[in-house]
Amino acid sequence: MIFGSAAQANTVTVTTLDGSQGWSSPPSENTGGGSATITATPIDGNGSMAVTGDRSRVAYGGLIGLFGNPTVFGNNLGTVSQFADLSFSYEIDPTSVSALDPKYSPALRLVFWNGVVKDELVYEAAYQPGGYSSEGAIGSLNVTDSNSFFYLKSENNVNHAMSISSWLGANPSLSNDIVGGFYVGVGSSAGSSYLAHVDDVIANGTKYNFEVAGVPEPASWAMMIMGFGVAGTMLRSNKRRLANSSTRVAAA
């Protein structure tokens, strides 16, 4: 299940989940042995975020934005109308053992508020056309986009087969609801041996790439290799000039 993502998104490289870059891994959201870490495992770039265990979720917006009323605390990310591009990439690790469907995959959730009432728009692969059969094979990359389906949690997870844009068209009152944050990860009951990788979360025109700090971009590697090549050529050239100079001196 590979769709196109927003190529025009600004890119932010995320190297930590301690909240300093907006992303955090709250202990309350990682239970049953679940954990989330940024690793060098590449699924769509240099690294990714690994989510493992029974329940593991990573939040952007912090606990106040996600689980408190952002209109009270002044912690919000804008309105729902700004997040019609919400999407991400994920891959189920070949070593993963799920207690649910073998293709059980991470979910992506947008948390928003209508006054003091909290609600969520939720992406899950099981709610897409064809369900889990629409996903690629385990170990392959899956990329969602703005056409992917989200359900509204307040409607008891009923699958209306609508994208966020469709929700906004069908229910215009959602447009101005306040976004407290968004999070990605695995819900309860996945099992302690579950493992998936997440990358390229796109939200409100920004793409968040997960990479281990200090790992050069592919373009940087190319520049370094080119630099080594140029340096080697210069060294060989200098050696030839020195050898030629020595020969001329000897001949004189």
CB 229 within 8 A of CB 33: no
Q: Which residues contact 72 (CB under 8 A, 6 or more apart)?
A: 116
Could you give the CA distance from residue 119 to residue 207 in angstroms, rounded to a whole number? Answer: 23
pTM of the model: 0.81
Q: Which of 61, 51, 60 is nearest to 30 (CA)?
A: 51
Residue 116: the pLDDT is 86
- By mean pLDDT, which of 31-35, 150-154, 173-177, 242-246 is the weakest? 242-246
- pLDDT above 80: residue 8: no
Residue 34: is it exposed, middle or buried by C-beta count within 10 angstroms (0-12/13-18/19+)?
buried
So where are the chain's domains?
10-210, 218-252
- By mean pLDDT, which of 98-102, 113-117, 134-138, 213-217 is the weakest? 213-217
Buried b (16+ CB within 10 A) or exposed e, 177-198: bbbbbbbbbbbeebbeebbbbb
Residue position matching structure tokens 């087969």:
161
- Condensed to tens digits (0 to 9), the pLDDT of residues 46-64 reads 999 999 999 999 999 877 6
- Condensed to tens digits (0 to 9), the pLDDT of residues 180-209 reads 999 999 988 899 999 999 999 999 999 999
Task: State the CB neighbour count (10 A cutoff) for residue 115.
Answer: 9
The architecture (CATH level 2) of 10-210 comes to Sandwich (2.60)
- pLDDT above 70: residue 41: yes
